[in-house]
Amino acid sequence: MSDDLDPVHTIDEWYDGPRGGATEYRGTPHYYRSLYLDSESWNPEEDRFELTPLPVSTLDAILEASRLHERWASAQRAGTLPPEADPDELRVLPPDRERYVAVERERNAYLAAARGNGFIVRGQFLRGTRSVRWSAPLVD
């Protein structure tokens, strides 16, 4: 693995560690997605990720969705969630829902269109930080 660390911008999926979100790879925005999601069984040693390049506009949408979710999480921690904020639904405040749905739709549309344009790397997320060490692309 490379000695260089890249920043992890968001963690959109978590299962015993980050499994999906926005990151950098060699200074360029990418979406990372754990390949364990494609397997029927959980392998705790699975450290392969598909990286898909992100245009800045999609990265901005992902970061905005993360900020909207963080507003909800802050209100939850403070015990100030409004009564209409159902924790089983979208985890965003009611006034943020429309915008959150729009930016999530933008992210999902881009990732669906870009499917297959990524490459596979190994990733080592450093505990307690928002950093990752990516390997060089793996070849089949």
- Domain locations in the chain as residue ranges: 6-134
The whole-chain average pLDDT of the chain stands at 89
- What is the Rg, in whole angstroms, of the alpha carbon atoms belonging to the chain? 16
Q: What is the pLDDT of residue 37?
A: 63
* Token pair for 137: 């692309």
Q: What is the pLDDT of residue 46?
A: 74
Does the pTM surpass 0.75? The reply is yes
Q: What is the pLDDT of residue 2?
A: 43
pLDDT digits (tens, 9 = 90+) for 70-113: 999 999 899 998 877 666 678 899 999 999 999 999 999 999 99
**Which among 95, 100, 69 is positioned nearest to 82, based on CA atoms?**
95
Yes or no: say if 97 and 71 are a contact pair by the CB < 8 Å rule.
no
Q: What is the DSSP letter of 8?
A: B
Give the whole-number percent of the chain exceeding pLDDT 70: 88
Sheet holding 28-34, edge to edge: 6-7, 131-134, 119-126, 48-53, 28-34, 18-25, 13-14
Coil, strand or helix: which one is 13? strand
